[in-house]
Amino acid sequence: MVKDKNYLIHRIRQKQNFLCIGLDPDLSKIPDQFKCSSTPLLDFCKLVVESTKDLAVAYKINIAFFENHGASGWEQLELLLNTIPEECFVIADAKRADIGNTSSQYATYYFKKLNVDALTLHPYMGVDSIQPFLNFADKWSVILGLTSNPGSADFEKLKMEDGTYLFETILEKFKNAGDINQLMFVIGATQGDLMKKVRSIIPDHFLLIPGVGEQGGDLNETITNLRNQDEGILINVSRKILYPNGLNTTIQDIRSSVLNYATAMKKYF
């Protein structure tokens, strides 16, 4: 199955939402019923996917929550990916990128062995550090542009000599580095005052948008300012979906939270 821009457009319009569910399986937060298992991360995430796949446009797997558990975590990650239906769009959130030969190893692992559809990447070592990922023409490279965390001001919002922000330079530098069917950018939902500036630089690219939910980004502002004629946005929600009632959260609660977000987005169709 080719998961290009047209695939994403179709999936969004079919589902009538932009929802990307973040899979961040934190052992200190997941329901107790999973903690006795030898594969708690797998069991929890698998049940989340099974109960939400009819609503979700995509899933973003936060690699850190698996990596933290060493060999067992990596094994559960690989098993999880084998259980996610082929028609689902899967993003590995690993924020990789390095010198060419190292990036090639990362790209081969995530795109060939794990066969994820997209991988998050940091841009700060330059275009050549991203090129090995772009060599996989049927996969998406998701580049950090303007992130949702307060620390985005430390570097991404630094003013350049010409008065523009550093993140603008990044968007300009990378927007033509690959095909529009393989380049996506991370833009935080907490960056309301800069959203129109982002779209003026990359009007046609897809955006992965964190920050709606726990970080307080405004859903209406995000959709109004960042959606384009091709839909063009995947809105990620993690903690507010996985743990809406803290330690008392049930799978039914997770399903209800997803329904709430999907319903809120549906009014834009």
Place of tokens 């990036």: 103
Q: What is the mean pLDDT of residues 213-233?
A: 94
* Per-residue pLDDT, 248: 86
* Per-residue pLDDT, 215: 86
Q: Of 66, 64, 60, 37, whose CA–CA distance to 48 is shortest?
A: 60
- Cα four-point dihedral sign 182, 195, 123, 45: negative
Q: What is the mean pLDDT of residues 223-250?
A: 95
- Which residues 6+ apart lie within 8 Å of 242 measured at CB? 22, 23, 24, 25, 26, 29, 30, 48, 249, 254
12 pLDDT above the threshold of 90: yes
Tokens (6 digits) for 4: 């290009």
Q: Which residue has the higher pLDDT, 247 or 243?
A: 243
Q: Any idea what DSSP says for residue 231?
A: B
Q: Give the separation between CA 198 and CA 40, rounded to whole angstroms.
A: 39
* Per-residue pLDDT, 175: 97
Q: What is the mean pLDDT of residues 187-200?
A: 97
The 10s digit of each residue's pLDDT in 54-75 is 999 999 999 999 999 999 999 9
Furthest-apart CA pair in the chain: how many Å?
A: 57
Report CA-CA distances (Å) from 167 to 70, 103, 144, 145, 151. 34, 22, 9, 6, 13
- Cα four-point dihedral sign 170, 172, 176, 180: positive
DSSP for 177-223, written as a single string: SS-TTTEEEEE-TT-GGGHHHHHHHSSSSEEEE--BSTT-B-HHHHH
Q: What is the mean pLDDT of residues 182-191?
A: 97
Q: Give the separation between CA 42 and CA 85, rounded to whole angstroms.
A: 15
247 pLDDT above the threshold of 90: no
Q: Which of 142-146, 184-188, 229-233, 243-247 has the lowest mean pLDDT?
A: 243-247
* Per-residue pLDDT, 101: 96
Q: What is the mean pLDDT of residues 108-126?
A: 97
* Per-residue pLDDT, 161: 94
* Per-residue pLDDT, 35: 85
Alpha carbon 210 to chain centroid, angstroms: 7
Partners of 93 in the β-ladder? 62
CB 152 within 8 A of CB 203: no
User: What residues are annotated to the active site?
Assistant: 95
CB 208 within 8 A of CB 60: yes
243 pLDDT above the threshold of 90: yes
220 pLDDT above the threshold of 90: yes
Q: Residue 224: pLDDT band by 50, 70, 90 thresholds?
A: very high
Q: What's the length of the chain?
A: 269
Q: What is the mean pLDDT of residues 104-114?
A: 98
Q: Residue 143: pLDDT band by 50, 70, 90 thresholds?
A: very high
* Per-residue pLDDT, 44: 97
The 10s digit of each residue's pLDDT in 201-212 is 999 999 999 999
Bridge pairing between strands 58-62 and 206-209: unpaired
**Domains, the chain, ranges and CATH?**
5-150+186-266 (3.20.20.70)
The 10s digit of each residue's pLDDT in 21-41 is 999 999 999 988 898 899 999
Q: Residue 252: pLDDT band by 50, 70, 90 thresholds?
A: very high
